[in-house]
Each structure stands twice: as structure tokens, then as C-alpha cells.
């Protein structure tokens, strides 16, 4: 890897963890509450200070740890509709199916259990703010981000969301999925395209916490077009997750 690469710097300060326990999943729910309830007001307040929904029961979750402090900075999940219960749906199918573009990928034709939707990406505000912003930050485990994070660490903060997206992609590859979906703003898709993630738009723009649309990426395009710096970061994240996960990947029995 090149000196001072995005991958080297990200790996120095952050680690993606597979949330394979109730305790770690609850850390993800706390992050989501901090962003979706406290900060954005998209979800109602509750006494547990955790944000969760029914899709969490059939999702794989990742959280991002800031190595030096042990603070969890962000999270993401991959919702996987189980093969043994066709009534359980993706968030897209539950909330925005009427926006699907006729003739595009139809989720009903994909093998249940063999694809998923990246969902609930959240990064706490302390890991998004620039040093000179004056808004009152969240306090993370009694850590004041104005003093605890160095300028070098802050320069890596913009890579956090990309690292989380790549962890969702790595989960899908490890699971041997046929494709992956994500509901996002078209401008974010244009940015991901520049990094080598050629998502195909399969839904019309709709008002879903802002103007968003559904996009799909097939397995053969998961990472072959990634730019070199992002490909290096992906390989680190994939290797980290591969070492943490123990399960039988999806197999399409019809292909046997």
C-alpha cells in the first residue's frame, strides 16, 4: 500500500467490528438513537435511549470502534430477508416499493436469504464535526471531542462513512449474496460511482427522510471497479470481518 494511504490511516485509528452479541448490537442501537432520535428527530424518544426496529432481528450489524479511546463512532446493518419467512421484508419493500422503476431489478425475483439492503448507517456527530464548528457536540463516554481528537485523527473522519459502506459490501460478499441494495440520495450515488461502486438506480426518487432512491449493485460489480485507495481500504475491512464471522454463506441450491 502507498505511504499515508487512506487504508493505512483508517486502519491506524479505526476498526470495524461484527456485532455478534447482544451487547455490541445495543451499542449500534445507541448510536442510531443519538443520530436518528436526538440529532435528527426522525425517530421518537424512548427511555432505553436505543433505536431499533423489527428488521434488526434479521440483520447483520457492524460497528466502528475508535481504537485509541474505545468509543464506538458509527454503525451500519445489512438487512437479509430470510428464506424461511417470505413475509419479512426489506425496509425498501416495506416503505418505498411503490417507487420501484418498472423493468428494473424486482426484489421479489431475487432469492430470499441471498441478497440484502444496507440500512441504518449512522455516524455520531462528534466524528463528523470539523474542529472550528461551534455547534455543541455530543459527549461520548464523558470524552470531549474538542480536546481528545488530534487534527490528524479529524482528517480521517470523512472516511468513516465510506468505511461503513464498505463493511456492508464486505458482509454481502462474505455471505455470497447475489446483490446488495441501498436507499440513498442520488448525489451520494454519484460520489460512490467516482470511487468505483457502480450502483444501478432501481427506484424513482421519493421523499424518505429527504429525496432518496433505491440503488442496486450486483455481486460481479461489488469491488472490481474500486479505485486503488478504496480497494486497499476494502481489503482491510473484508479481512477484519472475515476473521470475525463464522457461518455458512448463502448457497443457491438451484445452481447445484
Number of domains in the chain: 1
Q: How far apart are CA 171 and CA 234, in angstroms?
A: 11
pLDDT attached to residue 137: 30
Structural domain contains residue 254:
no
- Best CA proximity match to 5, nearest among 164, 225, 233: 233
Structural domain contains residue 251:
no
Structural domain contains residue 135:
yes
What pLDDT digit, counting tens, does each position of 168-204 carry? 999 999 999 999 999 999 888 998 999 999 999 999 9
Handedness of CA 88, 242, 36, 23 (dihedral sign): positive
pLDDT attached to residue 249: 73
Structural domain contains residue 108:
yes
Q: How far apart are CA 62 and CA 19, in angstroms?
A: 5
- Using CA atoms, how far residue 204 sits from 78, 99, 104, 147, 192, in Å, is 22, 5, 11, 44, 18
Residues of the chain with pLDDT under 70: 1-4, 129-158, 248, 252-256
Q: How many CA atoms lie within 13 A of 125 on its CB side?
A: 17
Structural domain contains residue 249:
no
Q: How far apart are CA 123 and CA 112, in angstroms?
A: 29
pLDDT attached to residue 208: 82
pLDDT attached to residue 209: 80
pLDDT attached to residue 151: 55
- Best CA proximity match to 19, nearest among 248, 245, 249: 245
Q: How far apart are CA 146 and CA 130, in angstroms?
A: 9
- Using CA atoms, how far residue 16 sits from 34, 106, 117, 128, 203, in Å, is 19, 31, 18, 17, 30
pLDDT attached to residue 143: 36
CATH number at residue 147: 3.40.630.30
pLDDT attached to residue 252: 66
Structural domain contains residue 73:
yes
Structural domain contains residue 80:
yes
206 within 8 A of 96, measured Cβ to Cβ: yes
pTM of the shown model: 0.85
38 within 8 A of 86, measured Cβ to Cβ: no
Structural domain contains residue 151:
yes
**What does the block give as the cell for 165?**
459502506
Residue 211 dihedral angles phi and psi, to the nearest 5°: -80, 115
pLDDT attached to residue 120: 94
In which domain, by residue range, is 99 found? Answer: 6-244
Amino acid at each position: 500500500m502507498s505511504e499515508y494511504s487512506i487504508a493505512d490511516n483508517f486502519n491506524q485509528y479505526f476498526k470495524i467490528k461484527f456485532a455478534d452479541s447482544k451487547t455490541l448490537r445495543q451499542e449500534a442501537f445507541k448510536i442510531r438513537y443519538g443520530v436518528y432520535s436526538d440529532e435528527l428527530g426522525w425517530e421518537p424518544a424512548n427511555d432505553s435511549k436505543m433505536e431499533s426496529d423489527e428488521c434488526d432481528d434479521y440483520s447483520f450489524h457492524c460497528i466502528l470502534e475508535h481504537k485509541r479511546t474505545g468509543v464506538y463512532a458509527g454503525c451500519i446493518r445489512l438487512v437479509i430477508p430470510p428464506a424461511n419467512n417470505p413475509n419479512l421484508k426489506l425496509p425498501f419493500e416495506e416503505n418505498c416499493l411503490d417507487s420501484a422503476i418498472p423493468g428494473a431489478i424486482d426484489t421479489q425475483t431475487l432469492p430470499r436469504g441471498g441478497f440484502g439492503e444496507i440500512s441504518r448507517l449512522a455516524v455520531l456527530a462528534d466524528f463528523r464535526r470539523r474542529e472550528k464548528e461551534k455547534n455543541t457536540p455530543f459527549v461520548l463516554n464523558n470524552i470531549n471531542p474538542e480536546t481528545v481528537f488530534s487534527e490528524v485523527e479529524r482528517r480521517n473522519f470523512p472516511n468513516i462513512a465510506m468505511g461503513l459502506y464498505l463493511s456492508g459490501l464486505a458482509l454481502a460478499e462474505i455471505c455470497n449474496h447475489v446483490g446488495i441494495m441501498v436507499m440513498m440520495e442520488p448525489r451520494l450515488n454519484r460520489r460512490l460511482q467516482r470511487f468505483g461502486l457502480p450502483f444501478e438506480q432501481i427506484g424513482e426518487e421519493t421523499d424518505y427522510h429527504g429525496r432518496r432512491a433505491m440503488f442496486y449493485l450486483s455481486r460481479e460489480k461489488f469491488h472490481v471497479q474500486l479505485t486503488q485507495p478504496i480497494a486497499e481500504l476494502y481489503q482491510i475491512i473484508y479481512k477484519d470481518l472475515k476473521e470475525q464471522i463464522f457461518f455458512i454463506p448463502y448457497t443457491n441450491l438451484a445452481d447445484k
